[in-house]
Homo-oligomer: A and B are copies of this chain.
Amino acid sequence: MAEVYQKDIQLDDYSKEDLVTFYREMVKIRKFDENLIRLMHEGKVSGFYHSGIGSEGLSVGSIVKNLRDEDYLYYNHRGCNQKIAKGVPLSKLYGDFLGTVEGTTRGLGAGIVHSADTSRGVLGQAGTIGSQFNIAVGSAYSAKLQNTNRVTVVYFGDGAASREPLHGSLNWAGLYNLPIIYICENNEYAISSRWDETHSVREHIADWAWGYGISNCVVDGNDVLLMNEVTKEAVDRAKRGEGPTFIEAKTFRHRGHFEGDTYDYVDQEELKDWKENRDPIKNFKNLLLENNICVENEFTRVDEEVDQEILEAIAKAESSPMPDEKRIYEGLFA
């Protein structure tokens, strides 16, 4: 059975700078998201949006201190959390929502899905969730063959985990002993379906990986430090040539599946509990306060800096033009 990853984390092992970085990145993701929703309400955004609020800790913890620009990442369709944590410029992400040429797609638009930034190893996403499982093992094979020690990380939801390609992917990953990390963002719901209504597992989704002989565990995805630690171990393992890891990280959506979703299919008490007691940012901030690592106005300053950064990014994205019709005929072939 998948074990629940526990670790007695010593805050002393972290520099203050790193801790503040974790905070800053989480706040950046949340504010990015809140501002995007505002832009949606202003009618400026193309397509639908799946807010990533509530699971910032998962992406920041797994990525910020563990992955380099050259490591490969396939994000999931919830928020822009992983892309931001991996360093894709905010203006480019806003550009993809606003359809301006500032976007990574130079004006085609991308929404969450389909932005890419190869300079940061962000290789895109498949609109058919779960299809990345196949693609990701290819990148991992590539790294292995080219002896680069690059790690591939693939993010996906509990729902996506039920797609058939997972089997082919885990089998390849184990068989060729690939440097790949599967991070299942289990927020308990796939649109309206609770994961235990659509998944047959021994106990955890991570148990599926067990049969392949792949390292696996379950972890509190809303604990940014725990996410950092568990991913670090996986990254090190991959770099040592010891193969894949499957991490099931538990979290919860603060908002509905898409903006506009009534979100009335979840237990409202449960939702309230997650928002009030298990918010990754709030809890991490309290941890730093309680341990006297930061004082309140340090956070205020970070918040203001991030606000500023975001407004600038939006301004940059918004002031950039939309492409004309010709754009759609560009770039089909290399």
Contacts and interface: CB of A to CB of B under 8 A. Distances in A.
Interface of A: 162-168, 170-175, 198-203, 207-214
A163 B175 CA distance: 14
Question: How many subunits of this chain does the assembly comprise?
Answer: 2
A177 to B, nearest CB: 9
A42 to B, nearest CB: 41
A239 to B, nearest CB: 20
Contacts of A164: 164-168
A7 to B, nearest CB: 24
Given A164-B164, A165-B164, A170 B212 contact: no
A163 B134 CA distance: 12
B211 A207 contact: yes
Contacts of A163: 167-168
B212 A208 contact: yes
A203 B174 CA distance: 12
B211 A199 contact: no
Given A201-B211, A202-B213, 13 more contacts: A162-B167, A164-B166, A167-B167, A167-B208, A170-B200, A171-B198, A174-B200, A175-B200, A201-B213, A202-B211, A203-B213, A207-B213, A210-B210
Given A200-B214, A202-B210, A210-B202, A171 B165 contact: no
A202 B209 CA distance: 10
A174 B198 CA distance: 10
* A-B interface, 3 closest residue pairs, ranked by CB to CB distance from nearest: A174-B200, A167-B167, A164-B164
Contacts of A174: 200-201
27 contacts: A162-B167, A162-B168, A162-B171, A163-B168, A164-B164, A164-B165, A164-B168, A165-B167, A166-B167, A167-B167, A170-B200, A171-B199, A172-B200, A174-B200, A175-B199, A175-B200, A200-B212, A200-B214, A201-B211, A202-B213, A203-B213, A207-B210, A207-B212, A209-B211, A210-B210, A210-B211, A211-B211
